[in-house]
Amino acid sequence: MTRIMTPKIAIVTTLLLAAANIKADDRLTSILAAQTDNVQARYQYRHPEETLRFFGIEPGMTVVEVLPGEVWYTKILKPYLGSKGKVIGADYNTAVYKGIGYDYASPEFLATRETWISDWIEKSRSTALTDEAEVDAFVLGALPGSMHGTADAVLFFRALHNLAYTAPNSANLKTAIKNSWDLLKSGGIVGVVQHHARDNMSDSWASGENGYLKKSYVVDMMQSAGFNLVAESNINANEKDRPTESEYVWRLPPDGDMKAIGESNRMTLKFIKP
């Protein structure tokens, strides 16, 4: 392939705009190729192309990303969904952050949650090009009625564990799943990528506090809310990740330094709202 010797930002813009005029499969490939080197370095662990295809995400959809963080997936979804699509960010509510503790419970951090919706929308719009999706946002537990029945997919990328353990009887997770049900159209998708605890680990260790959940727990929670499990994949599995019960997921990259293992072993599950 001939390398074009032009400023990188020009290359990125050209690739993203050209993607508007090609079929969905090639569009996603082009958009992923246009991301920065730092983003692409994670592809070997996050497999965004295979994961989004597995979930059935297509241009023109309205897609909710739970806990979008530093907009890693949002930067991919916005140009991929295109101007007929929409990306909705959904953050944890303050109670979840207080339950996590550590730095998240500091007054300074919690103050940033008060303006998270407007801040996230502004940050997500900051790189907007001609053919990118509209953006919106809400906080879990405070879903606006205007969003009910508007989404084609809700995506939980490594977001379930904190919801699971930060309130008695998984109340925060149940709220997030109920919000997902209310958001989705009939036939809508819930895509889950989650740090995966092996079945022989104790339930107390796999409560989410160490970052890991058992697949049986996730499936039970989703099915109890009315969702159907329709597919699962090993796209994001990593057999090298075999923690003991004295370890947690943050020993691994990108937070930890156990690079020989790589990122965590992750389940990838697709649910449908009937």
Q: How far apart are CA 172 and CA 98, in angstroms?
A: 12
Count of CB atoms situated within 10 Å of the CB of 9: 9
Interval 23-36 mean pLDDT:
92
Residue 52 tokens, joined: 């989004």
Residue 13 reports pLDDT greater than 60: no
Output 225 or 123, whichever has higher pLDDT: 225
3-state SS record for 145-198? HHHCCCEEEEEEECCHHHHHHCCHHHHHHHHHHHHHHHHEEEEEEEEEEEEEEC
pLDDT value at residue 24:
80
What phi and psi, each to the nearest 5 degrees, are found at residue 162? -65, -35
Count of CB atoms situated within 10 Å of the CB of 26: 12
Residue 5 reports pLDDT greater than 60: no
Architecture of domain 41-272: 3-Layer(aba) Sandwich (3.40)
Give percent of the chain above pLDDT 90. 84
Per domain, the residue ranges of the chain are 41-272
What phi and psi, each to the nearest 5 degrees, are found at residue 193? -120, 115
Residue 123 reports pLDDT greater than 90: no
Count of CB atoms situated within 10 Å of the CB of 242: 11
**Whole-structure pTM value:** 0.90
